[in-house]
Chains A and B, each alone.
Chain A
Amino acid sequence: MIHASLAQLRRALDSRQISSVELATLFLDRIDALNPQLNAFISVDRAGALSAARAADERIAAGTAEALTGIPLAHKDLFCTEGVLTTCGSKMLANFVSPYDAHVVSLLKAAGAVSLGKTNMDEFAMGSSNESSYYGAVSNPWKTTHVSGGSSGGSAAAVAARLVPIATGTDTGGSVRQPAAFCGITGIKPTYGLVSRYGMIAYASSLDQGGAFGASAEDCALLLSAMTGFDPRDSTSLERAREDYAAALVAPDTGTKPLAGLRIGLPREFFAEGMADDVRAAVEAALEQYRALGATTVEVSLPNARLAIPAYYVIAPAECSSNMSRFDGARYGHRAAEYSDLADMYSRSRAEGLGAEVKRRILVGTYVLSHGYYDAYYLQAQRLRRLIAQDFQAALTQCDVIAGPTTPTTAWALGEMADDPVQMYLSDIYTIAVNLAGLPGLSQPCGFGADGLPVGLQLVGDYFSEARLLNTAHQLQHVTDWHTRRPATA
């Protein structure tokens, strides 16, 4: 059961081979056993999970189960959950219990999914290694001396180590795709606006988007289908009919060429220098398999992609500096024990409650929005953002899907980049442009590097092409077994 796909779990639950309570207990016990080593969870809610599992069992007995009824999952700890801590990986919110559920959390509750707890993350989703968490770094299940990636590192590690079959995450510059790649699982960030941001604690509002982690594209499709849908409480939520991404997957048929006609674009800029040799080898091998499945590959260009990181590190900190202002110690969260006046209360509470990376981004954001700098930084970055989006649109006239490495290297060692934030920023080179354009992106496992750590292949498509991306990954997963490999810790 631990390694079963969601489809297998569904059959087991529906055939009463296992109850939802038993299934939840199985995974909760694994969390108890393995989490001390991985640190993937911040909060585990055994009582809440078992109560939800009992309700799911009743639904299953009543014959009203949906695809996720009775399936255990975990939420990244920036989705607000009523009655359970929502810390955002920060001391600032170490005492914060939300009085309401995020839209995504309510949708999954209504679907009957059983939340086991809240996963570790970079503080306020700012980071690429999960080392900025107030609750400590997450270890990579493949090599516990290495990082899980971030910011949704806890969710990715939990799914990879089978502490939970599926998990939610969020992706602002790669925070679903990069940890999925580092941990050897599948992760998808949909089109901006597809998943409601209501109750998702904001880092950079114009880039933040909820996403899904699973072992396979099929598991991701099932989870994502239940997360999307218009929400009037989020003004950037898109009014579109919900899609059933799992139903849209084409059943693989060995021996045929299921991807015949699919044009895969390979951005020249993503295959230039900067990519590690072992990553390149795994990516090239996957592309070869795609050609075998009938797809054709074509070189495309994203000439402004190199400007994505500088543009991102203006826009994201700008929005962050403003979004973080509500954490002032006045109404909730950490307040300094002693202070002399109002200004002192603010500065001490924030100095104590927020970590170094968050402070760095607040300072950068405050600077770029300041009088006299706004045009040169913020407006200029917005111009670049438009150019980058136009690049993708131009490339997507020549191809159906863009493919390349998710990250330039496999996971690095814990602490390796601790003193070099800019080096860490550069590791998001392939993922950040996708957020700036608002496009959907997916990472799927495509092999292992020299150090035995997983390599991810990123697929990017046009707006609302989630079904195509998932099916493209699904077809590869039928002819490869990377997605079924499990780390020794699991």
Chain B
Amino acid sequence: MSRTDWEVVIGLEIHAQLNTASKIFSGASTAFGAEPNRQASAVDIALPGTLPVLNRGAVERAMRFGLAIGAHVAEKSVFARKNYFYPDLPKGYQISQMDLPVVQGGEITIRVGDAAGGENQAYDKSVRLTRAHLEEDAGKSLHEDFHGMTGIDLNRAGTPLLEIVSEPDMRSSAEAVAYARAVHALVRWIDICDGNMQEGSFRCDANVSVRKQGATALGTRREIKNLNSFRFLQQAIDYEVQWQIDTLEDGGRIEQATVLFDPDSGETRMMRSKEDAHDYRYFPDPDLLPLMISAAWKARVQAALPELPGAMKARFMDEYGLSAYDAITLTATKEVADYFQTVVSAAGAAQAKICANWVMGDLAARLNKAELEIAASPVSATQLAGLVARITDNTISNAIGKKVFEALWRGEGGADANAADAIIDAQGLRQVTDSGAIEALIDEVLAANPKSVEEFRSGKEKAFNALVGQVMKASKGKASPGQVNALLRKKLEA
């Protein structure tokens, strides 16, 4: 049997840290990187007598997510205690949601495959969500630097998390990564999570099983915990799938288990089996009343949501006539979309395609080379719009445009929106459109290149292009290429 005889089934649990200023049940700060235990209040360290108070900002972020994915935002949801002992869990229980989560259902459309590789390879797929619930994060156990003892840092304890649980709808690691990326983009798009995977603000657990093609029952799953990069997610799933298939094909059985991925070896290894699984003894937290969400509150949150990527993509295609590929690329993140939108607004909708080409082409390449996010681009959206305007009104050629772009990138021309104009003027890059001046240049070039003229006349069209190049060079690139073409041809054919 081969790999293709098996169907892979994947569901993801994603923990997104909500970007509230204070914790979910206390007033302590959530800022990352403070000295250990400096951001742990009496509530966070679970002093006797302390009580949790729900941060409505965390609820509102969960609501934004629910509304963005078309889920049911529950009128009533309940916080429950998940009981287990661990030193970084100060109360001996985590406050989470069990039976009645705040977000129920919903779906996310993903594009699978490398879109740049061509429309044929990529496909769209809808992934259903089971739920998304609010819970508090635990602290951290630090096992190094304590000479055989363990250090406990409770700064992270009580940080709000949204646990986003998908249905087992994904059929490959590529789909899982596409889904994780889509969720990652969305939570940043609606500004509920900073998405910083290095700092642990966005972490994935993958439930993986395999079954024979055509089987309806799910295979036994193993859960890969705490994957904090998309690359690890892909590697871990690929390894796990192959391991499960090999195990089954060798006549073995898969036991339900929780496993960890070791990035160094590229392997998954067992953390605990089902027999070792905790009985968390969930029950409703008597310190917190049920969370009630009124229709009015929901409406306010809905009204405050930004235009979502799906709607924006459709609008870019409809309003600006962009291709699906362009529209998807430009709505990959909120920052790119905002940037593009600003360029188009300044340059005019009629120039949307050329704006898109600049954003996806020269700008993206330059940002990529410099390893910069678009928000940190040295060329502002309005500056780029100014450049586009000069190209479209024929003040400069496209080729000169690239030169001006480089100058903008270096900060020449200042910070103003009209920086492109300043550069064009300062460097005298304005296109030469005076026929007399161009004809004079042509005459010089024809006189200096009798061989090329001869070749053209004997039918070699290539020679024409060489002559155009010479004229452009003689004009230092400023001559209008269209005019040079027309006038040269006229002269040669005269």
Give A contacts to B, CB under 8 Å: 78-80, 86, 88, 93, 96, 98-100, 102, 197-202, 204-206, 232-236, 318-319, 321-322, 324-328, 330-332, 342, 346, 366, 369-371, 374, 378
Contacts and interface: CB of A to CB of B under 8 A. Distances in A.
Nearest to A198: B51
17 contacts: A78-B49, A80-B49, A198-B49, A198-B50, A201-B49, A318-B283, A319-B283, A321-B83, A322-B281, A322-B283, A324-B92, A325-B83, A327-B48, A331-B45, A369-B281, A371-B281, A374-B281
A205 B50 contact: no
Interface in B53-89: 53-54, 81, 83, 85, 87
A18 B466 CA distance: 114
A452 to B, nearest CB: 38
A321 B90 CA distance: 15
Classify chain B's interface size: 20 to 34
Given A235-B289, A370-B279, A325 B51 contact: no
B47 interface: yes
Contacts of B286: 204-206, 236, 319
Given A206-B286, A325-B91, A102 B281 contact: no
Contacts of A374: 281-283
A205 B46 CA distance: 15
A331 B288 CA distance: 24
Contacts of B52: 235
A332 to B, nearest CB: 7
A376 to B, nearest CB: 14
Interface in B277-293: 279, 281-283, 286-289
Nearest to A100: B42
A233 B53 contact: yes
Contacts of A371: 279, 281
A96 B92 contact: no
Contacts of A370: 279, 281
B87 A233 contact: no
Nearest to A80: B49
Contacts of A79: 49
Interface string B142-156: 000000001010000
Given A235-B287, A235-B289, A325 B85 contact: yes
A436 B287 CA distance: 15
A153 B448 CA distance: 115
Nearest to A326: B46
B289 A236 contact: yes
A233 B85 contact: no
A325 B47 CA distance: 12
Contact of B48 (A93, A236, A328, A346): A93
A88 B283 contact: no
Nearest to A329: B87
Given A322-B92, A322-B283, A325-B93, A331 B42 contact: no
Nearest to B53: A235
Given A205-B287, A322-B93, A325-B91, A369 B54 contact: no
Contact of B90 (A78, A326, A346): A326
Nearest to B289: A235
Contact of B42 (A99, A204, A342, A369): A99
6 nearest A-B pairs in the assembled complex, by CB-CB distance: A325-B92, A206-B286, A369-B281, A205-B286, A199-B49, A326-B46
Nearest to B92: A325
